């Protein structure tokens, strides 16, 4: 089993937090947001990669 610790674990944590913030800020439906967040939380590395390729993007804020 792959074990990540130290700086690698910190990087994965930061990337996953960024993904979740982006998912919550996206225009996707609530159900879709919940499923994407669960995927990223349950499978941190694989879930992040899947989100990066196919996930919802945050909506750009206009002033």
Could you tell me if 38 and 46 are in contact, meaning their C-beta atoms sit under 8 angstroms apart? no
pLDDT, the chain, mean: 86
Q: How far is CA 14 from CA 27, 41, 51, 60, in A?
A: 22, 12, 14, 21
- In this prediction, residue 36 carries a pLDDT of 93
pLDDT in tens, 1-26: 566 678 888 899 999 999 999 999 88
pTM: predicted TM-score of the whole model, two decimal places: 0.79
- In this prediction, residue 60 carries a pLDDT of 67
Per-residue pLDDT averaged across 38-43, rounded?
Answer: 94
Per DSSP, the three-state class of 11 is helix
């Amino acid at each position: 089993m792959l074990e990540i610790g130290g700086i690698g674990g910190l990087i994965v944590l930061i990337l996953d937090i960024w993904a979740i913030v982006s998912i919550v800020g996206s225009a996707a439906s609530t159900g879709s947001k919940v499923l994407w967040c669960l995927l990223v939380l349950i499978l941190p590395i694989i879930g992040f990669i899947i989100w990066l390729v196919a996930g919802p993007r945050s909506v750009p804020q206009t002033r």
